[in-house]
Structure 1
Amino acid sequence: MQHASPPPSPPSQGTDPAGFDFARAPFDLLTAAQREALADALDIGLYPRDTAILSREEPVDALFVVLRGSVQERRGGEVAAVHGPGDRFGLQALYGSSRGGGRGESAGSTGGGGTGGGGTGRIRRFIAAEDCACHLIPRAALEALAADNPAFGAAVLGDFAQRMRDLAAERSDREMAALTMARIRQAYLHPPLFVEGTASLREAAEAMRRNRAGSVLVRGGDGRTGILTGTDLRDRVVLDGHPAGAPVGPLARYDLLALDRDDLLFNALVLMTRHAVRRIVVTEDGAIVGLLGQSDLLAVLSNHSQVIGVQVEHAAAPEDLARASRSIVALIRTLHATGVRVSFIADLVTELNRRIFRKLYELLAPPELLANSCLIVMGSEGRGEQLLKTDQDNGLILRDGFDFPELPRIAADFSRHLISFGYPPCPGGIMLSNPDWTRPLAGYKDAIFGWIHRPDEAAQMNLAIFYDAAPVAGDPSLLAAAKGYLLGRLQDNQMFFSHFARPTLSFDTPSGLFAALFERRRAEPVDIKKAGIFPIVHGVRALALERHLAETNTVERIQLLAEVGALDRKMAADLAEAFTILSTIRLKARVDAPEEESELAIDNLVHPDRLGKLDRDQFKDCLALVKSFKELIAHHFRLNH
């Protein structure tokens, strides 16, 4: 039978069902005849300590039940659970891989994993914590029992579905908790518009029209500040008959509702609801700095991934997707400001971006094109590491022999709409509007052959980007076939891998930045991507490609490289942590910038003198580790020879 991700030394297999515990739920629901049928169908897998039992994105066709020993369930670099005798795992891998198109859909457990419905939760791996044996229940036997015994089927599959719902609810609660901790300063504040109390109603109206404001703040003669809204103007002039030349001072309301800029948005919502008002005054150090409108407050609190996801699913036109795309930036700002880990934010952004790309393609492409193509994302988007919007890296794989005359127009429209959503065009043209990245499977195979066997600089870049590809819409088997061809063509060619790994050393990683050199160059910014993030990403990518690994996410590649012995476990743990810290510093540098700048491509520049002491110390340590990792890569691939 077929098993997902067989270990370097394949487990020995047999059909001896000895030791299976039929007294444990839900197997106690089976009749004697059903138990006999299951016993006849069972296989046994033996796994030495540290063996990867379930990993990668390969299919699995059995449910695992631990017979003896223990199995660690790992999520990224962390142990999420430990399974002992009688525990079962692998149901998500059994039924999750058919959902298609995303990271984290192929290796899971009855204990949770993934996000359901095409989510992008990190892949869960199952590692033998000690020498262990597992019973393997084939899919066909499991489904036959579920059909023959509805109570058993409901217990197995229903339990799995409930765990998936619980996981989604837990993630939603975590995200909502972060949003409800958002501060007023994270919302848009309308600049305060002041008029003197002696100004006329007409002058106040003209000031509102000129500044496109819905209210004015009135400076009263007694030193108090009041407010006059557009609704007040209508009521005073039209309904109450006050002349347009009457002063605003006596007509303003001086019972202002005010909160500090660092107060919770949730408190502002409560205050507006309690007093039935649509705006409150915001102060900082006792001075009025703006007005918070109800619609602006709700815009922040509605930037929940589920709300954005619903907007995407109900989009009827590209313009609807543009609004959802703009909401993602506000969601990132809010989650980061409330301390949510960057890996969680990256998972959310990956999922939402892919939903937007998929929906846009479905809006533009007729059914026959969808059925005969695979939309892919590459680069950081393919690795699931995208945060704020950077260059597009996407392509389209067509089924061999399929011809669609309208394709150039659809591809151009796809790229054009993404640009309008705020995703900048790729300077290298790696997007659907470029025919080199919209071609049949055979064309991709020809290109891959050239990238491997004629590896100039452009070929190496294209191979690296494509190796990170992930399916988004259409038929994912087309990408699987192209990736399979890529990994199958690789040979143990030291020269090829040396060429491929060399860009890891392309950029300088400062070493004296925080010593005397730093004191002289304190104001000089550092390109954090070139100095720290790219060397980790590409060095890890080179090691993963050498081992023919299918993972795309950098942290997951690091973990698997440690499991197969290609990386020292301490170096792997340090690299994963450094990658997270550098990504967090990079994100912080952008979200702390003015909001309009965050809509632009990330410039990757970090000013060390603007970092707090903790961030600066971590930055220094991370760059030192990157230098050590680059030395490891140079030695491993003989780049100094």
Structure 2
Amino acid sequence: MPEAFDFAVPPFDRLTPDERTTLARSLDIGVYAKDTPVLARDEAADCLFIVQKGLVQERHHGETAAAFGPGDSFDLRALFGRSPNHSFVAAEDTVCHLLPRPVLVELARANPAFGELICEAFAERLRAAANERSNREMAALTMARVREAYLHPPVYVEASATLRDAALAMKTQQASSVLVRDGARTGILTGTDLRDRVVLDGLPVTTAVGPLARYELIELDRDELLFNALILMTKHSVRRIVITEAGKIAGLLEQIDLLSALSNHSQVIALQVDRAESTEDLRKASADTVGLIRTLHVTGVRVPFIADLVTELNRKIFRRLFELVAPPDLLANSCLLVMGSEGRGEQLLKTDQDNGLILRDGYECPDLPRITADFSRHLEEFGYPPCPGNIMVSNPEWTKSLSAYKDAIFNWIHRPDEAAQLNLAIFYDAAAVAGDTGLLDEARGYLMARLSDNSGFFSHFARPTLAFDTPSGLFSTLFDRRGAQPIDIKKAGIFPIVHGIRALALEKHMTETNTVERIWALADKRVLDRKLAGELAEAFTFLSTLRLKARIDAAHEVKIDNTVRPAEMTKLDRDQFNDCLALVKAFKEFVSYHFHLNMH
């Protein structure tokens, strides 16, 4: 039996003597040296960890989100829900009691008081995670505009229409009100008005709506702040206002949608995606993500948070689109993948499509070419440009059976030409967004099993890290002639970090896909020291922020590239940019030494 367990710590103080004996007999013990992982990112837990001595830190993107000392327990989310995108690392030499999940469940079932506290703790952790995200997003929403909220399309009836006609129009259009046209003026009649007039006042349903409508509309321009809409609704005690654009009615803003936008703006877009009944509905929801990104960015929300949010929304959009264009049997027998920056969860504004489809062995879909072509075409209509390398589901090379993917993986590893290395890198970053995710799990498992310890292979795979020049020391003054030249920030800074880290992660057979997550996982494995890991994570975030700013500033242009102009930066940004490029050069030297690239 492990060292004495402290039953005075809640919720274990609620256990009976017999239950304490049961718990004590089932306990195991874990010993963790300083800086070693206790529970890795996205790792499912089969026990509850209770710290007996030492300190465990919960880390997210390299930052400490929580700390657990003697008597504290973790992680109920990994035990009962989806494993969070966090890791738990021993901050000093640590000993934990390990309580198996089945025993915890049985104790919670048998002892309602104990079970209630366990449930409350689980719910509290979920609320804390939700509040952290909500608070950061709310800071941005103080500047949110009406155009970023969901507007209900206006439904019109003529003044001569009857109450029955108005009710039918609301039902058909799933609206809660109609706008009444009476010559040059426009009024409004709501569902509540209909109820009061017919049920309470007893008016016949053949009564004309013209005299019953209210013609003093409460209007607000689409570019006004959402908070101004809230003030108007509060002042006039109404549940909806009319939104105008260029002097014309653009739609109606309902109170419920306004409150949803102000409480969690991303949820409005997510709701639009979930409710989309057509590709046109989905296109409109997709267009709203750009406004959300702008709002979050201009109000200072950090790029990692924006990327997390956009990743969730994009994957919802891709999943819903696939559900709309694919028949149920295809959904059940395939797995839709996103790859590249989208697979890594690092896509901000809409970039090239990088997707594929794994089909179950033996399954055939006669209409597959049309379905995959429609999927790629709709994404292009949503603003995602076709991939120049044709890495899309519409290309049969990226829509094929699981066995065919395994054959491709074998060739990428054992015949590593330039194209094979690119394909392997893209596939290694893949994430499943729809269909049977087990198909990707099996393909990725095959990839890991086929990897050997052949240093020559990993050297070839890592070599593109050095493919592009990374300038440094260019910007001594604002008027430096070289500093005035545009720099491709992706080639000079972002790609070397992404691919260098990807090569190190692949060598260690790691399953993380996000670059920052890979950085900290490599630090946990002591491939990178924690100081370098922190500097790389910060540099990657800063360079991504500069890239996003350049893209937002250039969003009105037809072509959006990755160039930044140091001479146009503030001195602080320019100095930090120069420091980041110097760090990238040092990291490239580290990768070169690690993989012996100078020897090939």
Give the match for residue 561 of structure 1. 522
d(CA) in 2 for partners of 1:517, 1:458: 41
The farther-off stretch of 508-517 and 479-488 is 508-517
Give the match for residue 128 of structure 1. 90
Structure 1 position 608, deviation (Å): 1.8
Give the match for residue 487 of structure 1. 448
Q: 2:554·2:560 contact (CA, 8 Å) conserved in 1? A: no
- Of residues 209, 216, 234, the one that matches 2:184 is 234
Q: The residue matched to 2:49 in structure 1 has which SS?
A: strand
Q: 1:78 to 1:293 in 2, by over 3 A?
A: farther
Q: What is the aligned-residue RMSD (CA, Å)?
A: 3.1
Q: Which runs of 5+ in 1 are unaligned?
A: 1-15, 98-105, 109-122, 188-230, 237-256, 282-289
Give the match for residue 412 of structure 2. 451
Structure 1 vs Structure 2: percent identity of aligned residues?
65
Q: The residue matched to 1:397 in structure 2 has which SS?
A: strand
Answer yes or no: is 1:477 the counterpart of 2:427: no
Give the match for residue 107 of structure 2. 145
Answer yes or no: is 1:53 the counterpart of 2:34: no
User: Which amino acid in 1 is paired with 2:106?
Assistant: A
Q: 1:614 to 1:268 in 2, by over 3 A?
A: farther
Give the match for residue 503 of structure 1. 464
- Of residues 425, 430, 437, the one that matches 2:398 is 437
Answer yes or no: is 1:420 the counterpart of 2:374: no
- Of residues 76, 85, 88, the one that matches 1:91 is 76
Give the match for residue 160 of structure 1. 122
Q: 1:619 to 1:292 in 2, by over 3 A?
A: farther
d(CA) in 2 for partners of 1:232, 1:625: 68
Structure 1 position 95, deviation (Å): 2.7
User: Which amino acid in 2 is paired with 1:562?
Assistant: A
d(CA) in 2 for partners of 1:297, 1:523: 46
Answer yes or no: is 1:70 the counterpart of 2:55: yes
Answer yes or no: is 1:619 the counterpart of 2:580: no
Q: The residue matched to 2:335 in structure 1 has which SS?
A: strand
Q: 1:394·1:431 contact (CA, 8 Å) conserved in 2? A: yes
Q: 1:391·1:601 contact (CA, 8 Å) conserved in 2? A: no
* TM-score normalised over the length of structure 1: 0.76
Structure 1 position 304, deviation (Å): 1.4
Answer yes or no: is 1:514 the counterpart of 2:471: no
Q: 1:390·1:602 contact (CA, 8 Å) conserved in 2? A: no
- Of residues 31, 36, 51, the one that matches 2:16 is 31
Structure 1 position 586, deviation (Å): 0.5
Structure 1 position 161, deviation (Å): 2.5
User: Which amino acid in 2 is paired with 1:20?
Assistant: F
Q: Which deviations, in whole Å up to 9, do the C-alpha atoms of 1:582-624 show, x marking residues without a partner?
A: 0000001111234x43xx6641111222212222111111111
d(CA) in 2 for partners of 1:412, 1:294: 33
Give the match for residue 306 of structure 2. 345
Structure 1 position 172, deviation (Å): 2.2
Q: Which deviations, in whole Å up to 9, do the C-alpha atoms of 1:249-281 show, x marking residues without a partner?
A: xxxxxxxx999x9x9663586479869996899
Structure 1 position 234, deviation (Å): 3.1
Answer yes or no: is 1:40 the counterpart of 2:25: yes
d(CA) in 2 for partners of 1:167, 1:90: 13
Structure 1 position 332, deviation (Å): 0.2
- Of residues 552, 571, 574, the one that matches 2:535 is 574
Q: 1:478 to 1:59 in 2, by over 3 A?
A: farther
Structure 1 position 472, deviation (Å): 1.1
Q: Which deviations, in whole Å up to 9, do the C-alpha atoms of 1:375-415 show, x marking residues without a partner?
A: 11111111111100001111122222333333333222221
Q: 1:46·1:132 contact (CA, 8 Å) conserved in 2? A: yes
1:196-275 matches, cutoff 5 A: 234=184, 266-267=227-228, 270=231
Give the match for residue 137 of structure 2. 175
1:538-557 matches, cutoff 5 A: 538-557=499-518
d(CA) in 2 for partners of 1:334, 1:419: 24
* TM-score normalised over the length of structure 2: 0.81
The farther-off stretch of 171-180 and 486-495 is 171-180
1:307-456 matches, cutoff 5 A: 307-456=268-417
d(CA) in 2 for partners of 1:539, 1:514: 26
Q: The residue matched to 1:520 in structure 2 has which SS?
A: coil
d(CA) in 2 for partners of 1:40, 1:307: 50
The farther-off stretch of 299-308 and 605-614 is 299-308
Q: 1:340 to 1:567 in 2, by over 3 A?
A: same
Structure 1 position 32, deviation (Å): 2.5
Q: 1:389·1:602 contact (CA, 8 Å) conserved in 2? A: no
d(CA) in 1 for partners of 2:474, 2:126: 47
Give the match for residue 218 of structure 1. none
Give the match for residue 163 of structure 2. none
Q: The residue matched to 1:154 in structure 2 has which SS?
A: helix
Structure 1 position 317, deviation (Å): 1.5
Structure 1 position 334, deviation (Å): 0.6
User: Which amino acid in 2 is paired with 1:407?
Assistant: L
User: Which amino acid in 2 is paired with 1:330?
Assistant: G
d(CA) in 1 for partners of 2:267, 2:540: 28
Structure 1 position 22, deviation (Å): 2.2
User: Which amino acid in 2 is paired with 1:19?
Assistant: A
User: Which amino acid in 2 is paired with 1:36?
Assistant: T
Q: Which deviations, in whole Å up to 9, do the C-alpha atoms of 1:162-209 show, x marking residues without a partner?
A: 43134224422431331113479999xxxxxxxxxxxxxxxxxxxxxx
Number of aligned positions between the proteins:
527
User: Which amino acid in 1 is paired with 2:566?
Assistant: P
Give the match for residue 591 of structure 2. 633
User: Which amino acid in 2 is paired with 1:80?
Assistant: A
Give the match for residue 162 of structure 2. none
d(CA) in 1 for partners of 2:9, 2:483: 65
Q: 1:178·1:334 contact (CA, 8 Å) conserved in 2? A: yes
Structure 1 position 310, deviation (Å): 0.8
Q: 1:455·1:496 contact (CA, 8 Å) conserved in 2? A: yes
Q: 2:402·2:443 contact (CA, 8 Å) conserved in 1? A: yes
Give the match for residue 486 of structure 2. 525
The farther-off stretch of 389-398 and 406-415 is 406-415
Structure 1 position 517, deviation (Å): 11
User: Which amino acid in 1 is paired with 2:587?
Assistant: F
Q: 2:139·2:299 contact (CA, 8 Å) conserved in 1? A: no
Q: Which deviations, in whole Å up to 9, do the C-alpha atoms of 1:468-526 show, x marking residues without a partner?
A: 11111222222122112112211111111111011111111122431489722454211
Q: 1:297 to 1:534 in 2, by over 3 A?
A: farther
Q: The residue matched to 1:640 in structure 2 has which SS?
A: helix
User: Which amino acid in 2 is paired with 1:53?
Assistant: V
Q: Which deviations, in whole Å up to 9, do the C-alpha atoms of 1:64-84 show, x marking residues without a partner?
A: 111111111111111111101
User: Which amino acid in 2 is paired with 1:234?
Assistant: A
Q: The residue matched to 1:67 in structure 2 has which SS?
A: strand
